[in-house]
Copies of this chain bind each other. A is one copy, B any other.
Amino acid sequence: MVQIMTTHDNDAFKPIATVDLAIFSMTPNGLSVLLARRANAPFAGVWALPGGWIHIDIDHDLETAARRVLKEKTGVEMPYLEQLQTVGNANRDPRGWSISVVYVALISSDDLAAGQGARSGEAQWWPIEGNGVDVHLAFDHALLLSDALTRIRKKVEYSTLPAHLLPSRFTLSELQSLYERLLGRKLDKSAFRKRVAEAGFLVPVEGEMRRASNRPAQVFRLKDAQSLVLFDRTL
């Protein structure tokens, strides 16, 4: 068979292909995102979403690439990870036409405490303020972060997303309190508990109670740390 080779089959015409991650957790400063200071050009010394080139020799697929970056930056292997969007254009990277497949990861604050050592370069949790962080970001990462925040804020309304940011064991009061913090409004306790019970995403930790203001409260954990459950209606 005759193979017709066009210019676009040539490697020189391929775009740069990267994954970038918006990694969120709850820190003492509230909802926070993990940023890495870039070691090399372009934007050397500037903060950015953790990310990197897809390594076609070692990454089996896009998610493998995202989990590799995540593990390098946080030490956490199996958090909730979701593909957010893909951006790609001629201008976003001075090195040339560049694609970024953007993922959102949610890290339990326990995992955060255990494994936040960043193995490659300098990494730090930055508190979210408004639609971003109070520091200049490399590339178009301010826009990517803003898109990620819009997505997770919308999902708080109709999913179990906040539970993935809590410590691995929590009470229903702690869960409701985090929803209220992220939504910026109070929720009715019995309606909230009904929605949570219907969604069936929690498992009671047998024999583990926590003393709250008045009486002991059951401690729960997630049934599946890697999947969100969606509610039928918004909160």
Contact = CB atoms under 8 A, between A and B. Distances in A.
A12 B53 CA distance: 13
Interface string A84-124: 01111110000111010100000000000000000000000
A40 interface: yes
15 contacts: A3-B41, A11-B11, A13-B56, A14-B56, A15-B17, A17-B99, A54-B88, A54-B97, A54-B99, A56-B97, A61-B87, A61-B89, A83-B86, A99-B99, A99-B101
Given A15-B17, A62-B89, A56 B101 contact: no
Nearest to A6: B53
For this chain, the copies found in one complex come to 2
A59 to B, nearest CB: 8
A1 interface: yes
A54 B53 CA distance: 18
A229 to B, nearest CB: 16
A129 interface: no
Most buried by B among A1, A57, A89: A89
A14 B54 CA distance: 8
A57 B15 CA distance: 10
A8 interface: yes
A88 B90 CA distance: 20
Interface in A159-211: none
Nearest to A17: B15
A60 B86 contact: no
B60 A89 contact: yes
Contact of A88 (B1, B12, B89, B101): B101
Given A99-B99, A101-B88, A11 B14 contact: yes
A42 B192 CA distance: 53
Contacts of A3: 41
Most buried by B among A59, A61, A86, A90: A86
Contacts of A59: 90
Contacts of A54: 15, 88, 97, 99
A55 B61 CA distance: 23
Contacts of A17: 14-15, 17, 88, 99
